[in-house]
Amino acid sequence: TISSSFGKLLEDNSLRRLMTRLDPAIPSWQYGFRQNTSTLHPALGVMEAMRRHRGSAFWCIAVFLDLQKAYDKVWHPRLLSKLRPAGRVLYNILSSYLDNRTFRVQFEEHLSLPRPITSGVPQGGILSPFLFSLFLSDLPSSPGVHRWGYADDVTLTATNCHALLAYRWRWMRSNNGLLPTIWR
């Protein structure tokens, strides 16, 4: 994303306000883009889940998922509904930030007409990681399945395949548009 200096300042200021108001909405299993966390946190969580079941009668199954083109598939209406608690002014700024974007394609000397961008958060935007985490905040939970996330990488651990299959159907019914590569 190519933004003006003013746009970057506005994003930075908006991010601070969002984090103050909406950080509690980010689920505890999502470690990406949060203060005092790193990729080590979910890795240690998965290792601990496996260690707990070593030597027991139960296997620990781990499924590592990659969400394809995750930032591009963030559905604006759903994300905006999650931004309402931030307050009217911030909501209006972010609504404009998301909805008033266009793109053009240039091929050799030909330039297309502007087209609206109807989904996604800007790649490289200061706000984008937080907005993506907020978008994922209502992924379903399922008994017996533990989630570990860092940005668009999600690991599921469970002690039986049935729990993972049930989780798969709950995820697909949540209709968030983000299907892991493995489930396609």
Cα–Cα distance measured from residue 135 to residue 65, given in angstroms and rounded to the nearest whole number: 17
Cα–Cα distance measured from residue 19 to residue 96, given in angstroms and rounded to the nearest whole number: 19
The pLDDT value given to residue 46: 92
* Mean pLDDT, residues 70-75 taken together: 88
The pLDDT value given to residue 123: 83
Q: Is pLDDT at 34 greater than 90 in this prediction?
A: no
By the 10 Å C-beta count (0-12 exposed, 13-18 middle, 19+ buried), 173 is classed as exposed
* Mean pLDDT, residues 16-31 taken together: 90
**C-beta separation of 44 from 160 below 8 A:** no
- Percent of the chain beyond pLDDT 70? 92
**C-beta separation of 171 from 145 below 8 A:** no
The pLDDT value given to residue 138: 82
Q: Is pLDDT at 38 greater than 70 in this prediction?
A: yes
Could you tell me whether strands 145-150 and 153-158 are parallel, antiparallel, or unpaired per DSSP bridges? antiparallel
The pLDDT value given to residue 184: 46
Say how many residues make up the chain.
Answer: 184
For the chain, domain boundaries:
5-183
Beta bridge partners of residue 148, listed in sequence order: 155
- How confident is residue 175, by pLDDT bands cut at 50, 70 and 90? low
The pLDDT value given to residue 61: 87
The pLDDT value given to residue 109: 94
pLDDT: which is higher, 68 or 114: 114
* Mean pLDDT, residues 119-139 taken together: 88
Q: Is pLDDT at 7 greater than 70 in this prediction?
A: yes
* Mean pLDDT, residues 38-55 taken together: 89
Mean pLDDT of the chain: 86
Which DSSP category does 143 fall into?
T
* Mean pLDDT, residues 162-178 taken together: 74
Contacts of 51 (CB under 8 A, 6+ apart): none
Q: What is the DSSP string of 50-106?
A: HHHHTTSSS--EEEEEEBTTTGGG-BHHHHHHHHGGG-HHHHHHHHHHHHS-EE--E
AA identity, residue 138: D
- How confident is residue 180, by pLDDT bands cut at 50, 70 and 90? low
